[in-house]
Amino acid sequence: MTCQGKQAEKALEALMHTFTALMQEDKEVKTVQKEEAFYEGGFIEGDIISDGIAVAPAYRYKETMVQKDSGLTFQEAVNKSLDELETLYTSQQRNSDSGIYLAQKELLSSLQTKTHTFQDFKMLIEQSFSELSGTKLEAKISDYKDLLQRVEKHLGLEIEAHFPDKPFILLADDLLPSQIEQLTRTPVAGVILKETSVNSHVAILLRGAGIPSLIADTSLLTEETNIIVDAYSGMVVISPTQADLGKAQNRLEKDARQKALASEKRFDSAQTKKGKRIKVLANVTDVNSARNSKEEGAQGIGLLRTEFLFKEEKPSFAMQVKAYEKIFAHFDDITVRTLDVGGDKALPYIRLPKENNPFLGIRGIRLFQSHPEIMEEQLHAIFTAAKSKPLKVMFPMVSSVAEFQEAKAFAKATAKKYQVDISQIHFGIMVEVPSVLFSLDAFNEVVDFYSIGTNDLGQYLFAIERTHPTLKVDETSSVLFDAIDTIIKKAVKPVSICGELASNKQAIPKLLALGIETLSVSPKSIAQTKEEIRNV
């Protein structure tokens, strides 16, 4: 939550206390259905965080603290932490888990206004621990701990977690959201937590990482002994027999075969049962994700989010060129989106006026009017990095033909100014603003291609901000499919989809039936999306 005004802090505190009181009698809804299972060995039951199965030795979480001299003041450490959270949020914006980092940033901003020293900050955090303990909001304690650890890290106090270099099942009372990313870089097979909830931020991130996880009493488990985490049935087999291990191994192999089938065919074209070929491209967020997309079987880049370069400090022209060159080297089919900030995406060096409705204000293509110098430098860098390679440049948040024509003229003027040949560059738009649907005949005369951004298009169709904490857009609504159908029928230029809908298993058959031939998805969704297409 965010509050504005002279009594914003009091309002925020009152709301938090009210919600805590209202939720005391609330009951969590278990959305993960447990499968029936039978094991010969002793077992304990738990709640499912993330389904799957794991067999490995148990390992209890261990960490050490290292004190260094960072040379930063408390305020500088807080600002570094805020920038870090903004970077995490922006880089993962189209993922369903990205809101966690935005929520943490807002929480830290709120705490920052109440403290001026690290000691005051730490005392306020500890006070929050005691207030949340035993309430329905107890899971939020891990977020407060995470913020404290982030600030401490920038002040020189680093906590180093230790993990085995062989497969293991992690036992811990709880984890912090920031530790999940580190955990994904280890050979972890499963996770059992004692003091979290299925709705905590840690649980959300574990599900996103696909790590089989349960909530259970870890005190009953012995370290370094083989156990089974059956996160399909919600059981931890603490003394598995050979028959139990064989059963678990069979399920592991079945799961692995399904994943391997998609992985083995990830470089093959995606062809429907009727023989129609569908192009599967990648949504790329930085140099590493471009490399990963290539390895995952992407046929190109359907959406290059250039925001990764525009973080804490404005990137130089040389930095931009270097990054674009590295990305462009991986593919021949590339679509680059020009800088898309504004709305819920802010940059410290781009000053935008305070707006009552920032999602309806200066963002996307409107930066050509408010910050032409930044857009000129970016276009110059893109054109320079492209060299003679064919490239698609896409403008976001276009609402009228005039906006597109002005941006394209700006791009051509930039190329002329720096004497760069852009004859191989094609220009198109993101279809996100509903007004475009009523002007497609006119757009057909000037654009080279269309890319439907279903996340923002849904936001504006239903007048529901996509970062809203309670209101959600039904991404499989018939209204959204009707809008897509209208675009496909009226467009005479190529149309692709780059929103989350493109990798939705239930949506793929409908999208293909409407005539979509190009889908752009996250790197980790490429193989599975291709496999879904083959079953249509």
Report residue 410 as tokens. 């700006």
Closest by alpha carbon to 202, among 187, 214, 189, 218? Answer: 214
Beta-sheet strands, E only, within 333-479: 334-337, 391-395, 425-431, 450-452
pLDDT for 23 beyond 70: no
Q: Which of 211-225, 288-302, 457-471, 478-492 has the lowest average pLDDT?
A: 457-471
pLDDT for 337 beyond 80: yes
**Of all residues in the chain, what percent are helix, strand and coil, respectively (each to 5)?**
45, 15, 35
Q: What is the pLDDT of residue 304?
A: 94
Hey, what amino acid is at 212?
Answer: P
Q: Which of 43-57, 97-111, 342-356 has the lowest average pLDDT?
A: 342-356
Q: What average pLDDT score do residues 137-146 get?
A: 76
> Which of the pair, 264 or 510, is modelled with greater confidence?
510
What HEC string does 135-186 produce? CCCHHHHHHHHHHHHHHHHHCCEEEEEECCCCCEEEEECCCCHHHHHHHCCC
Q: In whole angstroms, what is the distance from residue 135 CA to residue 130 CA?
A: 10
Q: What is the pLDDT of residue 30?
A: 42
Q: What is the pLDDT of residue 155?
A: 83
Task: Output the CA torsion sign for 354, 358, 363, 369.
Answer: negative
Q: What is the pLDDT of residue 463?
A: 86
pLDDT tens profile 394-432: 999 999 999 999 999 999 999 999 999 999 999 999 999
pLDDT tens profile 62-86: 988 877 777 888 888 888 888 888 7
Q: What is the pLDDT of residue 18?
A: 65
pLDDT for 331 beyond 90: yes
Q: Which of 56-65, 125-134, 236-245, 445-454 has the lowest average pLDDT?
A: 125-134
Q: What is the pLDDT of residue 93?
A: 47
Model confidence at 346, in pLDDT bands (50, 70, 90)?
Answer: low
60 phi-psi bin (left φ>0, alpha ψ -120 to 50, beta other): beta
pLDDT tens profile 224-238: 889 999 999 999 999
Averaged pLDDT score across all residues of the chain:
85
pLDDT tens profile 369-394: 888 999 999 999 999 999 989 999 99
Q: Which of 142-146, 306-310, 460-464 has the lowest average pLDDT?
A: 142-146
Cβ proximity of 347 and 363 under 8 Å: no
Hey, what amino acid is at 215?
Answer: I
Which domains does the chain possess?
43-63+161-262 (3.50.30.10), 69-155 (no CATH), 265-534 (3.20.20.60)
Other CB atoms closer than 10 Å to residue 438's CB: what's the count? 10
Q: What is the pLDDT of residue 445?
A: 97
> Which of the pair, 69 or 442, is modelled with greater confidence?
442
Beta-sheet strands, E only, within 23-92: 43-45, 47-50, 53-60, 62-67
Q: What is the pLDDT of residue 83?
A: 84
Q: Which residues contact 94 (CB under 8 A, 6 or more apart)?
A: 283, 455, 499, 500, 522
pLDDT for 216 beyond 90: yes
Q: What average pLDDT score do residues 325-338 get?
A: 95
What stretch of H or E contains 192?
strand 188-193
> Which of the pair, 148 or 133, is modelled with greater confidence?
148
pLDDT tens profile 479-534: 999 999 999 999 999 999 997 789 888 899 999 999 999 999 988 889 989 999 99
Q: What is the pLDDT of residue 50?
A: 87
Q: What is the pLDDT of residue 467?
A: 59
Q: What is the pLDDT of residue 114?
A: 84
Q: What is the pLDDT of residue 29?
A: 40
Give one DSSP letter per residue of 474-486, joined into a string: -TT-HHHHHHHHH
Q: What is the pLDDT of residue 250?
A: 93
Q: What is the pLDDT of residue 94?
A: 45
Residue 162 Cα distances to 62, 63, 64, angstroms: 6, 6, 8
CB burial string 121-134: b at 16+ within 10 A, e below: beeebeebeeebee
Q: What is the pLDDT of residue 136?
A: 61
| Residue 15 dihedral angles phi and psi, to the nearest 5° | -65, -45
What stretch of H or E contains 14?
helix 8-22
